[in-house]
Structure 1
Amino acid sequence: MPNAAPHFRSHVEHILDALRAHPDREALVYGDHRVTAGQLRALALRMARAMQAQGVERGQTVTLLSGNLPESVATRYAANLIGARVNHLYSRLACDVQAAIVRDVETRALVVDPRMTDRAAEITESVPVKSVLVLGPTETGEDLLALAAHQSEESFVSQAQPDDICAIRHTGGTTGHPKGICTTYRQVQAQRAARPLGNDAASTRRQLVATTIAHAAGMLTDAVLESGGAVVMLDDFEAGQVLGTIERERITHLWLLPPLLYQLLDHPRMDHTDTSTLRQVLYGGCQASPARLSDAVGRLGPVLTQGYGQNEAGLISILTPDDHARPERLRSAGRILDGVEVEIRDDAGNALPDGEHGEIVVRSAMVMQGYWKQPQLTAQVLQNGWLHTGDIGFRGSDSYLTVVDRLKDMIVVVGGHVYTTELEDLLNSHPQVRQSAVYGVRDEDRMERVHAAVLLVPGAETSADELRAYVRAERGSMYEPARITFPAELPLTDVGKPDKKELRRRAMAHA
């Protein structure tokens, strides 16, 4: 009689094993609430049984409408133990977009942050959900914590299978219906091996999470908890609060998108805050300015690490702290990871030689299964196992990858193409510019014009005409912006990237 296939151990089981190994260690910190590893593990196991008792089964969808709470982390682990897929809504999306997602992913249970019960009521008015479970006592739905309190915290064998969908993560779009990116349990196992956590003492890591755990911060939370470290959670990013938390909680690891890193560097408390405990400042998610990175290295020390990747593709390349010591590397997205195949292709799909610009195409075990319920779009993006990233870039002979722009952000003008990140880098190098965002706007003749939104350093006196002359002198008239605005701040998407859709909308409204 053949031997039974060995039990597939999901990433959640590995995390719970790590929590059980040292139950008294601090695992999660949220305000004055400090949760031990043993408490987090027990809560996740009790929640899994409570959701099962509510009828949640393997292959169904649990949707989270929640901010950064310890209970939200436990909910995700509980749902995945059952073998359910988790969809975590971005909290800043409009109600109608959230409702469309809740319907589209076939939500079986909506788990709600007590602070968001009014929004949950709005959503469920238009989209009936069988189970509405709240992370605490409220008048809306059932209290999941109370239900879990009556359940056992004995070990729970995961029902998940390798090719089941573990998570549906939506693109951070601010208009229309975001795309749902399907990640399997098998892909998460591959991602675990590529985590950019560094080689220092894992058990002493203290990760600060100041962006939504619905995005990259959630994956980093998993990695740190599995490695034996602790995670300090904030509701949102506010530079002064982040600096205070780094000093008070002796933070060693920090994840930020580049615009948030700039806010940290520009805060008046920056030079008066003890950041000496930081061992890694990981950044990514959008292009970074080499000038600002050089400033960050000078002020924070050799702690910066860049991770380039996508929800669709997983991690692709890493720019290490040693790389940051070399100015010529700061425009690069780092060296391509072992196990990740990258080709640069032209419009006809032909592979290009090193140094030539084209679309970055990736193949690895981390690549997504596809887009939820969008087979045609999946077929466009995933071809013969290769994922088309939509990024334009080139590869060096040393396997370092440089990302030049997003295909959709590249501006087609008379005479050629304007790569927005190249122009942003140039503007950011001006001594009176703090940050910029470049985007294309079509005029009445449907021709694209280059626009730039520029944040100036305090006390700056430069004008739009002076900046245009600076660009013209450095890069030529093709790159010269037709219009430059000076907003008080740049609008950001829910995950912290410059919101070019909103900037474009404002420009068109002005026109």
Structure 2
Amino acid sequence: METLRLDPGRELAVHGERRLSAGEFAELVDRMAHALVALGVERGATVTLLSGNLPQTLAARYAAHLAGCKVNHLYSGISAALQAAIVRDVETRVLIVDPRLTGRAKEITDAAPVRHLLVLGDPGRTGGQDLLALADGQPDSAFPARCRPEDICVIRHTGGTTGRPKGIVSAFDQAARISRVMTPERRGADGALRQLVCTTLAHAGGMMADGVLRAGGSVVLQDGFDAGEVLAAIERERVTCLFLLPPLLYQLLDHPDARRRDLSSLTTVTYSGCQASPARLASAVRRLGPVLVQVYAQNETGGISVLTARDHDLTRPERMRSAGRVLHGVEVAVRDAAGRDLPAGEQGEICVRSPGVMRGYWKQPELTSQVLREGWVHTGDLGRLDEEGYLTVVDRIKDMIVVVGGHVYTTELEDLLNSHPEVSQSAVYGVRDADHVERVHATVVTVPGAGVRAGDLRAMVRERRGPLYEPARIDFADSLPLTDAGKPDKKLLQRRARERAGTPSPA
């Protein structure tokens, strides 16, 4: 908050036609914090957000933190039933709602009542109160922070679509560490740091926004990802940085406006969240220049490693298959199934220890004890460290496909498919057949006008990787379905494949 008050006249947030100065934003945060306390919201209570990328969303989150509350931000793309389960699970005291989502808010609170339902504007028929109106009646004096570094800052749920959601608990000091990792080091030519937020504030885009604002920068908020709108905003607002998941980066590069828009203001395009294709990254470097930065992180661990812009070297394409060097202050061990550390170059589970690891899973002590052992988070990722200290993530252990005769690493097969000149994106996943045998399936998005056929791609895989990796089925799609966080939704693809084959879902 002190950073905001140092230069109150600077532009801090843009959303549509609205432009908000740092002073206006700081006053809004203070008034909201006073309003929460006036309602009787206690220190340590849980505030849950159901909101899109509004300036008021950021302000509400910061106000809740100032009031000493822990915050949970719901993904908007999951079902009302799952949202209600999360609201109930984290013992939500206050639900703060985007006025565009009041209908969904009523569905949630009918199933999971809360003490205070607050809307960032007209509450409509929700039975809630207008938080902005409540804030207007409060003093604009600086609110004295009631939070402490060791307090719980956030309970962030995984974006899974089945089973009990996992709430990952992080303290304020742990959340600040990942925010610093996400903060771009390079500014624009005029010294500006200007982020375009085009993915949900509930995910990594929000972590980057925290760091950008703390560093004296500003944010341009869009309600969702649309490649054409993103390209236009970069040019119009002279954006210097943004966060994208790899599938969204590919959509940006493939958009017809990508070559005619002025993207010269960009200094950093951070990508993370799922594996990226080295072939597509090379194309991005050729198009955008040396601006790509990969951050390898998990909510459970915080930041683990970074592949810098310099590491995106077209003369060393193999380097772009790695996740970069391990961050200072982070320990990484690659271990076998018995828990023994493996030497450089050998493959095993990536385990991480650092001050940024989670407290644990919310109200799931058994799961916490399985994943967090003696200070080490067992990530569930397969990988290896080389002699130069570069970490390569081979696959998620759960995504690895066990086939007759061996294992298929989905990311390796995706990299191979994406290297075909007529393939834009791909997703590889395992599907059990009627005999309960795992089969390799792939869904492929081709470039416009492509004539490649499934048999051509299977032949390429058979030639370069052998019959073990050859997909039993390749489907073509106009686009890959994505989760609310922006990752390829392989669970949905698997379900569709089972429905086509008439195979029941696994128990």
TM-score, with length taken from structure 1? 0.96
Letter in structure 1 aligned against 2:276: A
Q: Distance in 2 between matches of 1:405 and 1:499?
A: 16
Match of residue 151 from structure 2: 164
Once the two structures are TM-superposed, the CA of residue 458 in structure 1 deviates from its matched residue by: 1.1
- Provide closer, same or farther for how the CA distance between residues 120 and 151 of structure 1 changes in structure 2, counting only shifts above 3 A: same
Offset at 1:192? 4.6
Correspondence 1:295-314 to 2 at 5 A: 295-314=283-302
1:276-297 Cα distance to aligned partner (Å, 9 max, x none) = 1101111111000000000000
Secondary structure, aligned partner of 1:68: coil
Structure-to-structure mapping, 1:469-480, within 5 angstroms: 469-480=459-470
Structure 1 residue 118, shift from structure 2 partner: 0.5
- The alpha-carbon deviation at position 443 of structure 1 amounts to 1.1
**What is the CA–CA distance in structure 2 between the aligned matches of 1:185 and 1:254, rounded to whole Å?**
23
Is this contact kept in 1: 2:193–2:212, CA < 8 A?
yes
| Conserved 8 A contact 1:196-1:307 | no
Q: 1:119 aligns with which of 88, 96, 104?
A: 104
Q: Could you tell me which runs of 5 or more consecutive residues in structure 2 were left unpaired when the two chains were aligned.
A: 502-507
- 1:100 pairs with 2:85: yes
Unaligned runs of 5+ in 1: 1-15
Counterpart CA distance in 2 for 1:192 and 1:283 is: 14
- The answer for the alignment partner of 1:187 in structure 2 is 174
In structure 2, C-alpha distance between the alignment counterparts of 1:190 and 1:71, rounded to whole Å: 24
Determine which of 442, 448, 472 is the counterpart of 1:452. Answer: 442
Query: What are the residue-to-residue correspondences of 1:433-444 with 2, within 5 Å?
Result: 433-444=423-434
Deviation at 1:195, TM superposition (A): 3.8
Give the match for residue 290 of structure 1.
278
Q: Distance in 2 between matches of 1:306 and 1:193?
A: 14
Secondary structure, counterpart of 2:149 in structure 1: coil
Identity of aligned residues (%): 62
Is 1:87 matched with 2:72?
Answer: yes
Distance 1:450 1:30 in 2: 44
| Distance in structure 2 (CA, Å) of the matches to 1:284 and 1:71 | 26
Q: Does residue 1:128 correspond to 2:122, yes or no?
A: no
Counterparts in 2 of 1:461 and 1:481: CA distance versus 1, 3 Å: same
| Residue 358 of structure 1: aligned partner | 348
Greater Cα offset, 196-205 or 221-230: 196-205
Aligned counterpart, 2:504: none
1:203–1:229 Cα contact (<8 Å) kept: no
Q: Structure 2 vs 1, CA of residues 274 and 396 (structure 1 numbering), >3 Å: closer, same or farther?
A: same
Opposite residue 282 of structure 2, the aligned amino acid is S
**482-491 or 195-204, larger mean C-alpha shift:** 195-204
Q: Give the letter for the 1:135 counterpart.
A: L
Question: 1:467, 1:22 → 2: CA distance?
Answer: 57
The answer as to whether partners of 2:323 and 2:392 remain within 8 angstroms in 1 is: yes
1:199 to partner: Cα distance: 4.2
Match of residue 18, structure 2, among 14, 23, 33: 33
Q: Pairwise CA RMSD of aligned residues? A: 1.1
Out of 100, 109, 116, the residue aligned to residue 94 of structure 2 is 109
Q: 1:192-224 deviations in whole A, cap 9, x for unaligned?
A: 543441143695111000000001111111111
Q: Would the aligned equivalents of 2:183 and 2:208 in 1 still touch at CA under 8 Å?
A: no
Q: How far did residue 174 of structure 1 move?
A: 2.1
Which is worse superposed, 320-329 or 350-359? 320-329
Question: Which residue of 2 is the match for residue 174 of structure 1?
Answer: 161
Q: Secondary structure at the match of 1:324?
A: coil
| 1:240-251 map, 5 Å | 240-251=228-239
Q: CA deviation at 1:176?
A: 2.9
In structure 2, the residue corresponding to 1:241 is in which secondary structure?
helix
Q: What TM-score results when the alignment is normalised by the length of structure 2? A: 0.96
Q: 1:453 to 1:192 in 2, by over 3 A?
A: closer
Aligned to 2:505: none
Deviations 1:30-83 (A, max 9, x none): 000101000111100100010111111111100001000000000000000111
Alignment: residue pair count: 496
Q: CA deviation at 1:161?
A: 2.3
Give the distance between the partners of 2:151 and 2:27, measured in 1 at CA. Answer: 24
Q: Deviations over 1:347-393 (max 9, x none)?
A: 11111111111110000011000111111111100000000111111
1:384 aligns with 2:374: yes
- Confirm or deny that 1:144 pairs with 2:131: yes
| Cα distance in structure 2, aligned partners of 1:112 and 1:383 | 37
Q: Does 1:367 align with 2:357?
A: yes
Secondary structure at the counterpart of residue 252 of structure 2: helix
Q: Which amino acid aligns with 2:217?
A: G
Q: Secondary structure at the match of 1:72?
A: helix
Q: Which moved more, 1:461-470 or 1:63-72?
A: 461-470
